[in-house]
Amino acid sequence: MRGRGTTTRNTAGAPTNGRARSLIWLCRVVVRVFMRQVDVTGRHHIPADRPTILVCNHSNGLADPVVLIGCLGFFPRFLVAKSMWRIRGLSWLLRYAMCVPVARRNDVHGESFDAATNAAAFAQCHGVLAAGGRVAVFPEGGVDDHPGLTLPLKTGTARIALSAVAGGRVDDVVIVPLGITYEERGRFRGQVALQIGEPVEVVPFLGAAGDEDAVAVRALTEAIGAALLTVAATHASWRSAEVTHAAAEVVVRTEDPDAAEPYARVVELQRELATRLADHGGDSGPAFKGLEARVDDLRERLEALGTHTPADVVHLDAAHARRRILGLGALSLGLAPLGVAGYALHALPAAVSYGLGRRTAHPAWKATAKGGSAVVTVPITYAVEAWAARRRWGPRGAVAVLVAGPVTGLAAIAWTATVDELRRSVRAAGWARRPEGLAAARAGRDAVVAEVDRIVALPVAVPARRD
């Protein structure tokens, strides 16, 4: 029988103790509140009983590890750049989260490279893996405002894995690639796709003598990059990312308006389009130009109807929109009282989050600024409101406020989403009175679908063999 505070799994790196459980719970709450939908695919690729290194693309600041923890349900040891530990307040969180500091050469400014930090990091990671735990690495080496992976990857992941096996700390290690794609970084209630790829076995990359020579490190790093490309799309420009995402969304929502996990399907198709387009001229090639023209034409036709969102192709069936209006109207009326109360009780956190989001210039850190401020201001707001309620109505008033806060907050989120969808359905129902514009939009939609089918049928370039 386990006592209080003991671990449920004896791993030096990812213990499911009270600290880890509290952080997992917090990340789950943050993900469910801030993300409208998170589609996770490929979960079976993460082994339950093998030393594992998770590698993931890094495009959205602290939101990336929060999404990983909240969706995967376990707590790996994250490697974090030592420069992040110099940020007041954040350093405390990193220590509490049992993160491992690593030194990056591009962080050195007029001082010698801190090799001792990395030696200690390697030793900690080896201990985690030897105990059967998991380590998480963002091998791009930082957060860049670029629509894809920052290649070439840093070699640290390969060196940690190979040295763990070569040094006899573990018999084997597996590296699992993860790709996170956001509908829009920093957007409240946006969609996210977390895709988990097939594992990369480490042992076959050891040198002939069973060591971690430079050739093995380079080969394994390239294999990790190739694995990440199967779950994280990379684009030559933001325009390419925008066009392929719009086209993929049109296709998925046209084929099945009520599909389960639609955003994961959109991301998968977007990645496939990016691969084909890269093999056929990239952004300047005729394939991309043709797709861009079809998407822009569809946008113009949708704008003529009063919308510009490609996802609104699901509303091109006016009868479908009319069927939804009654249910959405009743739901919005039912949620209205709690929604209004939620807005009133959360006015301060909402204002602070919105203001910080506007003041944060770098797109990759908007979600961190907004979400981090809410994590701090919401408990403070609840405490102040409970204190005020206790003074006026006694302990029962304080308890009522503490219960009403989360309930009305979630109701306000649901109410806002319902009203927005109702508004879109009402607008779409009116499209039936404009048959010419509706027919033009449907033709534009069909042209995008046909163009996507044509691009997907293009041959994939075969990479040249490397001797």
Q: Could you tell me how many helices (H) and strands (E) the chain has, helices first?
A: 14, 8
pLDDT of residue 10: 37
Give the dihedral sign, CA 366/369/370/375: positive
pLDDT of residue 3: 35
Domain coordinates in residue numbering, the chain: 18-229, 239-460
Cβ atoms within 10 Å, residue 361: 7
pLDDT of residue 113: 57
Mean pLDDT along residues 166-175 = 91
How does DSSP assign 21-80, residue by residue? Answer: HHHHHHHHHHHHHHEEEEEEE-GGGS-SSS-EEEEE---STTHHHHHHHHHH-S-PEEEE
Given a cut of 70, is residue 305 above it in pLDDT? yes
User: Which residues, at least 6 apart from 262, have a Cβ–Cβ distance to it below 8 Å?
Assistant: 39, 252, 253, 256
pLDDT of residue 395: 94
Architecture of 18-229 per CATH? Answer: 3-Layer(aba) Sandwich (3.40)
DSSP state for residue 4 in the 8-state scheme: T
How many Å apart are CA 99 and CA 55, to the nearest integer?
Answer: 15
Token pair belonging to 349: 């956190």
Taking the model in full, what pTM does it have? Answer: 0.88
How many Å apart are CA 272 and CA 256, to the nearest integer?
Answer: 19
pLDDT tens, residue by residue, 317-336: 877 788 889 999 999 999 99
Given a cut of 50, is residue 65 above it in pLDDT? yes
pLDDT of residue 302: 94
How many Å apart are CA 36 and CA 410, to the nearest integer?
Answer: 12
